[in-house]
Amino acid sequence: MFQLLRDGQPRTRAELAQLTGLARSTVTARVDALMRVGLIAPVGGATSTGGRPPSLFALNPAARLVVGADLGATHALVVVADLSGAVLAEERAELSIASGPDSVLGWLCDAVARLLQEAGRRAADLGAIGIGLPGPVEHDTGRPINPPIMPGWDRVDVPGLVQQHFKVPVLVDNDVNIMALGEQAMAWPETADLMLIKVATGIGAGIISSGQLQRGAQGTAGDLGHVRVPRGDGVACRCGNTGCLEALAGGPALAAALSADGKKAYSSQDVIDLVRSGDLQAIQAVRQAGRDIGDVLATCVNLVNPSVIVVGGRLAQAGEHLLAGIREVVYRRSLPLATEHLRIAPSVAGQRAGVLGAVSLAIGHVLSPEAIEAAASA
């Protein structure tokens, strides 16, 4: 019943009675309980229609706080947000994930403490913490599993470490997965089948199907970086194989290709700068990268049949060129049935997709029926 109020839309008791089919008195009782806990709050401004004006109330976003953290390979972003997903305070740091769990999570906990103070709230107001990590994660336990770029993190009990400082549920997931959640929360709330493609140093996909994040048997679902593409024959990849998508269309690969042509491009950012400055070669390279990615995505579209593909990650910020390349191939190669209603759109959240997804994950936990039940009965 409370789930009706999750959207944050104000309702009246009479409306709820109508929607749930319960008696008005029952609705009143439950509303009272939720009000006492503070999860819902009255909101003024109800106009009478000839009688006593109804009293509106809605989810109280300030009832609890959540933390969202996006820990990347070389940088980290942490925010404190309310239950509506509005960011109250944030902190960014250049921080190498390779410095290990103790160092990184230590910084994280310190940052959370600072952000709470900045927001003028206390640790007791925290409802949950969501964390995104750049590698495979066993979501049920919150442990990274054989992460390639996170030395020292293998099977570390991340929730346990964080809970030494904050005694709240800690939800950990892959960074691409939480980006997918973030984009869905921001831009596609009605879409149950969404696929997010992150194109940066690596290339990965986060899949939301039937409204549920698909993590796969070992939590490695969506790893598209090392799929073989025909055009890549013979190109060596850091993974040891050849012909990987990442070795062809990843940021470092593009930079290398351009610098071989005499351009000054050593990083993904340089590639983007070149594109923005109108460099034709760079534009062509990015567009071709889009085509290569599209080649793989065409298969993915046929396989999972999403209704939206969101393209995010650093390289997606190089204008429409990447998107154009992807669209070009996907719409040509995928089945008409699957592409008929398929939209391919740029990321809305951009660099904040990850952290917003972590927030969304945490909010989802705080507002889950079980958590609400526990809060209301306590």
Partner DNA sequence: CAACTTATGTTGGACTATCGACAAAAGTAT
Partner DNA sequence: ATACTTTTGTCGATAGTCCAACATAAGTTG
Q: Which residues bind its own copies (CB under 8 A)?
A: 136, 145-146, 192-193, 205, 207, 209-210, 212, 214-224, 226-228, 230, 239, 241, 295-296, 298-300, 302-307, 333, 335, 337-338, 340-341
Q: How far is CA 326 from CA 21, 290, 297, 365, in A?
A: 48, 4, 8, 34
CB-based contact 154:144 (threshold 8 Å): yes
Three-state DSSP state, 240:
coil
Instruction: Give least dist CB 52 to DNA, A.
Output: 3
Q: Which helix (H) or strand (E) holds 125?
A: none
Give the residue with the Cβ less far from its own copies, 16 or 207: 207
Rounded Cα distance between 177 and 223, Å, is 11
Three-state DSSP state, 144:
strand
DSSP secondary structure string for all residues of 15-64: HHHHHH---HHHHHHHHHHHHHHTSEEEE-----SSSSPPPEEEE-GGG-
Instruction: Give least dist CB 56 to DNA, A.
Output: 7
Give the residue with the Cβ less far from its own copies, 259 or 302: 302
Q: Which does 277 bind (CB under 5 to 8 A by kind): DNA, its own copies, none?
A: none
Rounded Cα distance between 176 and 223, Å, is 9
**Residues between 54 and 113 with contacts to DNA, criterion CB under 7 A:** 54-55
Q: State the Cα torsion 126-30-361-66 to the nearest 10°.
A: -20
Q: Which does 302 bind (CB under 5 to 8 A by kind): its own copies, DNA, none?
A: its own copies
Q: Which does 226 bind (CB under 5 to 8 A by kind): DNA, its own copies, none?
A: its own copies
Q: 251-267: b or e for each residue (b if 16 or more CB lie within 10 Å)?
A: bbbbbebbeeeebebee
Instruction: Give least dist CB 59 to DNA, A.
Output: 16
Q: Which does 14 bind (CB under 5 to 8 A by kind): its own copies, DNA, none?
A: DNA
Instruction: Give least dist CB 17 to DNA, A.
Output: 8
Give the residue with the Cβ less far from DNA, 17 or 345: 17
Instruction: Give least dist CB 365 to DNA, A.
Output: 22
Of 48, 49, 165, nearest to 105 by C-alpha is: 165
Only segment of 15-23, 175-183, 240-248, 306-314 that touches DNA (CB under 7 A): 15-23
Chain positions contacting DNA, by CB under 7 A? 12-14, 21-26, 28-31, 48-55
